[in-house]
A = this chain, B = another copy of it.
Amino acid sequence: MGSTRILNTQLLERVMSAEDAAKLIRPDMTVAMSGFTGAGYPKAVPAALARHIEETHARGEDFRIRVLTGASTAPELDGALARVDGIQMRLPYQSDPTLREQINAGRIDYLDIHLSHVAQHAWFGFFGKIDIAIIEVSGVTPDGQLIPSTSVGNNKTWIEQAAGVIIEVNEQQPEGLDGMHDIYYGTALPPRRRPIPLVHPADRIGEPWLHCPPEKVIAVVKTNAPDRSNAFSEPDEVSQQIAGHLIEFLRHEVRHGRVPASLLPLQSGVGNITNAVLAELGKGAFQNLTAFTEVIQDGMLDLLENGTLSVASATALSLSPAAVTRFAQNLGTFRERIILRPQEISNHPELVRRLGCIAMNGMIEADIYGNVNSTHVMGTRIQNGIGGSGDFARNGYLSCFMSASTAKGGAISRIVPMASHVDHTEHDVAVIVTEQGLADLRGLSPKQRACEVIKHCAHPDYRPMLMDYFERASRESYGKHTPHLLNESLSWHQRYVEQGTMRDPKWP
């Protein structure tokens, strides 16, 4: 039973198989798991639990649990549990196809919560009692401290709040992770909260390890498996155009003296477009940038290596297999330039406001008045979730939302008369970018915004339809502050649902 990663004898005594650990979980329990964007999630116990649930269901018995995480995980967790119909409730962010299908079939209660809110809502008691936490770590110190894995997420809170803790020690996670984390133990419930003493993304304000009373640990499971992160495709032309518009805009901000030459700390959402933006940033126009963000993806490694980025603060290191190898090869550089924090700190409104982050996130659609839908396809089908976009969009210096102007081969316009769901209100959206161009909405009234969005962001195929709607609404609307024709405002979405396209046959 020896282990080079579990150096505490008390915890070494709790080592058991994933199957035995999974049997500690019973129906209707609330189980909080590690994991953030495919990094640092438990690899063995959820899969063993899924098998256990499947067997129980086969006997005709009910077995579903409530699952709390940091953010999205991987097929071995969300996918495996959803496939056996084992999830009753899930929060706060997901991106698994099977889980998504079940949520949209109406079979799972999904709570889509600002990532900065999750830990405090757990502390406030809004999610009820947490029975068991399952936390992946990369090692255990001789005195029982937990060396975090590739994500921190809500692990500090889950460990503190859960009645019992199952530890997965993953020997495949780089030993060099030790020392990269900064776990801040200074949070509290109001009225005992104090200022968080972070004034630069590089500041270390906490400790490298997670504390867990040994008596709370009900099982330790050894694993040896990689994070399941997808490689990004090379940026396509549309993503490159979007990135180009945004970079030109940032240079314009610097020229006007509104931000320093090294910009302000960057927050970058997950996806191909934001990855293209990172690639474009690395082409030499900027130096000594900083990132205060949620996830460090492949694209950021390049920027850290070539000096475009001097430091990146995040809560997860979500790398493709190739990038994992590079990370290990150049560990010295990355250890100095990467800090992984709890997500309540990486996304904290106090810090996002103080640092003045530049928020860059994808979107599902925007309407002509600047309301952004980040979560619901056609207003009703959840895609992933709001993630941290709201934490950064409202509190940062600038909120930028990006998307191709169309989807499904042109059948969907991402610029619509009225957003079918609103995650970011007109009060929170500064810049909208598509491959067509960039609309700078700062200091504009709703009707001024509409002109900019239609002119700069809409696809030419949809521009006349949008302008026609806007002009008729401006004449006929009940109120003319934010003109709408309410019996038509969501008709594009309805047409897509019924006919598979937003295109109006009346238009050529």
Residues of chain B with a CB closer than 8 A to A448's CB? 109
Which chain A residues (295-326) contact chain B, with CB distance < 8 Å?
none
Query: Of A34-42, A191-199, A330-338, which binds chain B?
Result: A191-199
Give the contacts of A361-413 with B (CB-CB under 8 A): 371, 376-382, 386, 390, 394-395, 397
Alpha-carbon gap, A353 to B110, bound state (A): 25
Task: Assess the B111–A356 pair: CB atoms within 8 A.
Answer: no
Per-residue contact bits, chain A 471-500, to B (CB 8 Å; 1 contact, 0 not): 000100111111110110111011001000
Task: Tell me if A481 and B382 are in contact (CB < 8 A).
Answer: yes
CB under 8 Å from chain B, chain A span 235-256: 256
Which B residues lie within 8 Å of A397 (CB)? 124, 190
Cβ contacts under 8 Å, A505 to chain B: none
Interface-side segment among A3-11, A50-58, A268-276, A416-424: A416-424
Binds B, one of A154-162, A223-231, A438-446: A438-446
| Nearest Cβ on chain B to A115's Cβ, whole angstroms | 10
Residue pair B486, A494 in contact (C-beta under 8 Å): yes
Contact A110 B481 (CB under 8 A): yes
User: Across the interface, do B126 and A443 meet the contact criterion of CB distance under 8 Å?
Assistant: yes
Contact present for B486 and A356 (CB under 8 Å): no
Check A89 for interface membership: any CB of B closer than 8 A.
Answer: yes
Mark the stretch among A75-83, A98-106, A165-173, A208-216 that contacts chain B. A98-106
* Oligomeric state, in copies: 2
Instruction: Name A's interface SS.
Output: loop
**Closest-CB distance, A191 to chain B (whole angstroms):** 6
State the Cβ distance, A131 to closest chain B Cβ, in Å. Answer: 15
Which of B106, B125, B425 makes the CB contact (< 8 A) with A480? Answer: B106
Contact B482 A356 (CB under 8 A): no
How many angstroms from the CA of A491 to the CA of B381 in the assembled complex?
21
- Could you give, for residues 343-370 of chain A, a 1 whenever the CB lies within 8 Å of some chain B CB and a 0 otherwise? 0000011100111100000000000000
Q: Which residues of A contact B (CB under 8 A)?
A: 89, 103-106, 109-114, 117, 121, 124-128, 189-191, 193-197, 199-200, 256, 258, 260, 264-265, 348-350, 353-356, 371, 376-382, 386, 390, 394-395, 397, 420-428, 442-445, 447-448, 474, 477-484, 486-487, 489-491, 493-494, 497
Query: Beyond A106-B481, A111-B444, A195-B354: 5 further Cβ-contacts under 8 Å?
Result: A104-B481, A109-B447, A194-B199, A349-B394, A379-B482
- Listed A/B pairs (16) with beta-carbon separation below 8 Å: A109-B448, A111-B443, A124-B397, A128-B443, A191-B356, A193-B199, A193-B356, A194-B354, A379-B479, A379-B484, A380-B480, A380-B481, A425-B425, A486-B493, A486-B494, A487-B491
